[in-house]
């Protein structure tokens, strides 16, 4: 389930990169991002790890070039600079573990340009806020996968597994809150409707990861899993209510 959620995230991210600001270089980098990630998505779907890894390396390289373009554009046109940072951040995020360490520096630079602007670029400025939490979620989803694999093989989960499940749930809940706060604040801005809908769908993805961690706690009942689950029941219900209010459902992908 978690892998499917990450691929869904990828498709939406590509969609967000489409209607960028003007400029041939910006458009070319946008097109390169779309091509690299569609190639990666196809590689993941086909189980071709080498193709996916090659795409990751290309995305890291693209991120570095787009970041430099953003830096170069800062004193000329801040909106164009933020658009370059948007491509850089998306590319680093979708490069997975290889790009994770690059994201914060990029989004911080973009967010700084967006501060105190009355003439904001609402889409790109909002992405500077939410890409970081989405990337953290993907890291947490990867942490969850080995525990899911154990459960599928009916291996009894131990204390270390429960600690992972608690860490995943708590971490995802924190990122869920950050994205929710950003989305609510964005509703008072001219942010595109498509981006607000995107945020709602991302909250479902995060909720589903938290739910997967929560459900697995029952498989660790011999080491306190049920107690850990009960301590998080109210917080789980809060995320569930938020997602249902936004989407009308909280149905998680099953494959």
Q: Quick one: 159 and 58 in the same domain?
A: no
Q: In this structure, are 127 and 225 located in the same domain?
A: yes
Predicted confidence at residue 186, as pLDDT, reads 86
Residues 65-75 have a mean pLDDT of 95
How confident is residue 8, by pLDDT bands cut at 50, 70 and 90?
very low
Is the domain of 91 the same as that of 177?
A: no
Q: Are residues 132 and 243 in the same domain?
A: yes
If asked whether residues 110 and 175 sit together in one domain, one would say no
Residue 228: give the domain boundaries.
123-247
32 and 110 belong to one structural domain: yes
Query: 110 and 163 share a domain?
Result: no
Do 136 and 216 share a domain, yes or no? yes
Say yes or no: 166 and 133 in one domain. yes
Q: Does the pLDDT of residue 97 top 80, yes or no?
A: yes
Q: How many whole angstroms from its chain centre is CA 30?
A: 18
Burial (CB count within 10 angstroms: exposed 0-12, middle 13-18, buried 19+), residue 65: middle
In a domain, 8, yes or no: no
- Please say which residue of 88, 120, 152 terminates a domain: 120
Is residue 157 one of the residues assigned to a domain?
yes
161-170: per-residue pLDDT in tens? 999 999 999 9
Residue 1 lies in a domain: no
**pLDDT grade, residue 1 (50/70/90)?**
very low
Mean pLDDT in residue range 29-56: 93
Look at residue 17 and tell me whether its pLDDT is greater than 60: no
The predicted structure's pLDDT at residue 117: 75
Region 52-74: mean pLDDT is 96
Please, what is the average pLDDT of the chain?
A: 88
Comparing CA positions, the residue from 167, 165, 135 lying closest to residue 148 is: 165
Pair 207, 115 in one domain: no
Instruction: Read off the pLDDT of residues 143-152 as tens digits, 9 standing for 90 and up.
Output: 999 999 999 8
**Mean pLDDT to the nearest integer, 7-29:** 58
Under the banding of pLDDT at 50, 70 and 90, the label for residue 190 is confident
Using the 3D structure, point to which of 63, 89, 120 is the last residue of a domain: 120
Residues ≥6 apart with Cβ < 8 Å to 248 = none
User: Can you give the three-state secondary structure of 63-82, one letter per residue?
Assistant: HHHHHHHHHHHCCCCHHHHH
Closest C-alpha to 9, from 168, 208, 244, 216: 208
| Domain total of the chain | 2
pLDDT at position 188 is 81
110 and 152 in a single domain? The answer is no
Q: pLDDT tier at 193 (50, 70, 90 boundaries)?
A: confident
pLDDT over 60 at 6, yes or no: no
């Amino acid at each position: 389930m978690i892998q499917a959620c990450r691929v869904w995230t990828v498709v939406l991210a590509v969609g967000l990169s489409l209607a960028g600001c003007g400029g041939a270089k910006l458009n070319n980098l946008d097109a390169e991002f779309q091509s690299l990630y569609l190639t990666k998505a196809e590689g993941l779907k086909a189980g071709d790890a080498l193709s996916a890894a090659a795409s990751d390396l290309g995305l890291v390289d693209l991120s570095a070039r787009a970041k430099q373009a953003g830096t170069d554009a800062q004193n000329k046109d801040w909106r164009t600079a933020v658009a370059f940072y948007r491509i850089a951040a998306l590319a680093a995020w979708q490069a997975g573990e290889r790009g994770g360490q690059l994201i914060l520096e990029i989004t911080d630079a973009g967010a700084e340009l967006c501060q105190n602007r009355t003439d904001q670029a609402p889409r790109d400025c909002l992405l500077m806020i939410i890409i970081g939490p989405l990337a953290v979620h993907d890291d947490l989803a990867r942490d969850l996968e080995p525990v899911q694999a154990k459960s599928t093989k009916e291996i009894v989960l131990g204390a270390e597994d429960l600690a992972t499940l608690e860490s995943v749930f708590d971490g995802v809940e924190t990122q869920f809150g950050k994205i929710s706060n950003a989305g609510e604040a964005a509703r008072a801005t001219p942010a595109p409707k498509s981006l607000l809908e995107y945020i709602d769908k991302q909250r479902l993805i995060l909720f589903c990861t938290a739910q997967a961690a929560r459900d697995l706690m029952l498989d660790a009942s011999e080491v306190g899993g049920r107690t850990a689950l009960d301590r998080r029941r109210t917080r789980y219900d809060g995320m569930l209510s938020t997602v249902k209010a936004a989407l009308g459902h909280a149905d998680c992908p099953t494959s």
